[in-house]
Amino acid sequence: MSEFDLIIADGTVATAANVFAADIAVKDGKIVQIGQNLTGGKRRIDASGKFVLPGGIDSHVHISQPSGEGIVMADDFESGTLSALFGGNTTIMPFCLQEKGQSMREALTAYHALADGQCYTDVSFHLIVSDPTASVLGQELPALVADGYTSLKVFMTYEGLRLNDAEILKVLDVSRETGATVMVHCENEDAILFLIAKHELAGDVAPRAHASTRPIAVEREATHRALSLAEVVDVPIVIVHVSNGEAMDEIARARARGVKVVGETCPQYLVLTAKDLDGMDWEGAKMVCSPPPRDEAAQADCWRGIETGVFDLFSSDHCPFRYDDPQGKLNPKGSVNFRHIPNGIPGVETRLPILFSEGVMKGRIDLPRFVALTSTNHAKTYGLYPQKGSIAIGADADITIWDPEAKRTIRHAELHDGSDYSPYEGMDVTGWPVTTIIAGAVMVENGILVGKKGQGKYRPATTRPVGIRGQA
């Protein structure tokens, strides 16, 4: 009788702390032994010449989310988790949106029904708070945090979603009392609306105007305000999808004052620019997301944040819409005015290869930093550690095997999301995840799907995360 269910042999293992040669033994979905020359497995995978890493955790993903009248998001849980799986991810964290007048419980019941039995990866949910009524703040949120929904997102932009400062303070106070983690989308909506009106008056309504109506100043100001509100309440926060150096400086200054803040950035701020929104025949709509990509100087700043620790998390902000679709980017209103183009781009499958290729293979970051940015810090920030986010005895056997020499050109035709384009089309990358294992089950092997839908499960978070910036 075999001692282990699976042995991954002769690979180069990396965690957020170190890199070493080892075999990994798996039994009953857990890592049970790490050592040399392990034997006794029912199955053995040869990982020689490969990197063996913790499965990616993408903690900023939008799937099956209500997106406005006549607009339909391109990914459901089946296609979204399949795409994530092929991109080397073993857990994703999408957002459950509370619509106006809806209880949080109602929103979660409906969202769980969409995910149940459909997932190729594990999932854990964030809650979007759009209607912070007295009952939501005083009763629902504390109970939900205790049930494992420990991360809340608030918006400072988008009519119908944004909260005012008083409402944000109340949500932050619930976070302080319950141990939840609050994520903030930082853009000043009033300034954006002011600029939109001026653009429309001038007839400047092409996709490129999306970037010029959301300049760095509106993100910088909102970032400063969010950090100040957190300072008032004395609670940690996460500033999501930071796009530029000026917002980064606000994070650094807040940390110097003692504010506990986690910073996140995304691939679009490393490899795209606002010029990509100026495509011919409205193709710039493909790149519309918020905050928008900036310029080469902002790219360099974001890389500096990756390299120096301003950023703790690297997420995709996968928010997919089809381009050539009347329910997507080219909806009747969006095809004539940028303000009606759905905000968001696909990217869950390409997040890890882009950072690996541009970061690790080009010498900007080392392998442990890659693991921290793409897996370990996500698990720690959002209450999934130590079960997830590391290769350690007792952890879930969520593992990816990477071929560091694989060379690929990103083509949407070879990806698995529900959109009809990739913003990174034609980008050459070196390094690709070839085998993905979830709870000891081989799901993708040598680039071929071998696992089944439904292997992925919902995973509640712990009440208080381990924390990477003093959240615990």
- In whole numbers, what is the pLDDT of the chain averaged over residues? 96
Q: Which of 78, 83, 45, 47 is nearest to 64 (CA)?
A: 78
pLDDT band at 99 (very low <50, low <70, confident <90, very high): confident
Q: Check residue 302 and give left, alpha or beta (phi > 0: left; psi -120 to 50: alpha).
A: alpha
pLDDT digits (tens, 9 = 90+) for 177-230: 999 999 999 999 999 999 999 999 999 999 999 999 999 999 999 999 999 999
pLDDT grade for 463, boundaries at 50, 70 and 90:
low
Q: pLDDT tens digit string along 272-327?
A: 999 999 987 899 999 999 999 999 999 999 999 999 999 999 999 999 999 999 99
pLDDT digits (tens, 9 = 90+) for 243-260: 999 999 999 999 999 999
In this structure, the number of other CB atoms found within 10 A of the CB of residue 65 comes to 17
Question: Cα–Cα distance between 349 and 433 in angstroms, integer?
Answer: 10
Q: Locate tokens 């964030």: which residue?
A: 126
Task: Tell me how far apart the alpha carbons of residues 245 and 162 are, in angstroms, rounded to a whole number.
Answer: 24
Could you give the CA distance from residue 263 to residue 240 in angstroms, rounded to a whole number?
Answer: 6
- Reference 303, options 256, 247, 364; nearest CA is 364
Tens digits of residue pLDDT in 346-397: 999 999 999 999 999 999 999 999 999 999 999 999 999 999 999 999 999 9
Query: 34: which 2 tokens?
Result: 């790490």
| DSSP three-state, residue 419 | coil
pLDDT tens digit sequence for 13-67: 999 999 999 999 999 999 999 999 999 999 999 999 999 999 999 999 999 999 9
Please work out, in degrees rounded to the nearest 5, the angle formed at the alpha carbon of residue 390 by the alpha carbons of 28 and 148: 75
pLDDT of residue 468: 64
> Cα separation of 364 and 110, whole Å?
43
pLDDT-derived band at 1, boundaries 50, 70, 90: very low
